Amino acid sequence: MPETLAGWLAHLEQLHPKTIDLGLERVSEVRSRLGLTPSFPVISVAGTNGKGSTCAMLEAVLHAAGYRVGLYTSPHLLRYNERVRIDGAEASDEALCRAFAAVEQARGEIALTYFEFGTLAAVWLFVHAGLDAAILEVGLGGRLDAVNAFEADCAAVTSVDFDHMDYLGDSREQIGYEKAGIFRAGRPAICGEFEVPYSVKDHAEKIGADLRLIGRDFGYDGIEPQQWRFSSRDGLRLTLPHPALRGAFQLGNAAVCLAVLEQLKERLPVAPDDIRRGLLEVAVPGRFQVLPGRPQKILDVAHNPHAARALAANLRAMPPVGRNIAVFAMLRDKDIAGVVRAIKDQVDLWLLAGIGGPRGASADELMRVLDELGLAARAQAFPTVAEAYRHACDKATDDDKIVFFGSFYTVAEAMTLAAAGG
């Protein structure tokens, strides 16, 4: 067996012929062999966007309340360890290697995907860590995602929009059905999508889930710039500070977080002060993350039209000084044109960069999309994110904002360069 985390990750990449192979048979069989039946509450979170922020808020509030919490998310930006957090800290290389070894021994002849293997390893660590709760972020969709091999005590869908259409379907009804697959009979199911597809409500009704909808069963409103109010049909009323995460849309994610916690209050009671502290301390790298210094550097993993609209709204809310310079790189299997349309009014100069690998779009491919949208005159192409990064830093004034977005790869590269003083 491999002896290092790097060795294990290389091993995981070779186990299955496909990067994505949706289905629960393989992961459920290995889960059974490992005897992974969590005794603590499990919260599963799906959604086109907002699931990472919602998971982070749940972790922050429960941690503030004194609970030992496990958090599993994906993908990572700089280190695989980011995906598995226990009691507020990333899992160590040694802990991950132990978990991978346990999964490897149990899987036998079963060829797990990278994500399936990692999901099982994360839950193995959680079960052996004596936790009070675990939060599992769905990787893709919900119904056939590896996370769904574990029974959620409360499941949440933050939003339903277009992404991963090759796997989830080309309509919001189909995508909503896939995401609602994490709901469980007789258990609370929270939905933070205001325009909820009928398929979500229909599936919840068919299986007997206790569906709670934003705008009907719980909701929020802003009462002043620094405060907002949460309310629910069950009687919870709280006036709270805005979350530390930027963007008015984060209030919807915070409302989903509180709706989940309200449904689990018998097993995981939290006080209003715990909620306030958690919301003020929460942090999610790469989600409208503003780096210190001038010119401002803004990192956002927005890689679909829904997320790009949120990024555009955040940029629109900032002081209108200087230019917005976009360092933009995407994967070719994403809706590149949809992302560009969603944010084009907030970009003064496009610096297009290529991403290596079979899924990465080249700068020339991005330029063709901008040309079709009449934006090529405001764009320049660079082979790599690093070259676009350096050009942006050379040309930007102190009043400008440099926005790195389009994928996790884009943000990870920008983070690495910024940390190195590039």
Single pTM value for the model: 0.94
Element (H, E) at 306: helix 305-316
Contact 255, 230 (CB under 8 A): yes
Q: What is the CATH number of domain 5-281?
A: 3.40.1190.10
Residue 269, pLDDT score = 98
Residue pLDDT, tens place only, 128-172 = 999 999 999 999 999 999 999 999 999 999 999 878 667 687 899
Residue pLDDT, tens place only, 268-288 = 999 999 999 999 999 999 999
How confident is the prediction for the chain on average, in pLDDT? 95
Domains of the chain, by residue range, sit at 5-281, 289-419
Strand partners for 352: 328, 381
Residue 66, pLDDT score = 98
**Structure tokens that stand for 268 in this block:** 């995981």
Does CATH place domain 289-419 in 3.30.70.2860? no
What ranges make up the beta strands (E) of 263-400?
289-291, 296-300, 324-328, 349-353, 379-382
Q: Are domains 5-281 and 289-419 of this chain identical in fold?
A: no
Whole-number Å distance between alpha carbons of 94 and 85: 14
- What backbone phi and psi angles, to 5 degrees, belong to 400? -75, 160
Q: What is the mean pLDDT of residues 294-312?
A: 96
Q: Which of 348, 359, 371 has its CA nearest to residue 406?
A: 359
Phi-psi category of residue 64: left, alpha or beta, with phi > 0 → left and psi -120 to 50 → alpha = alpha
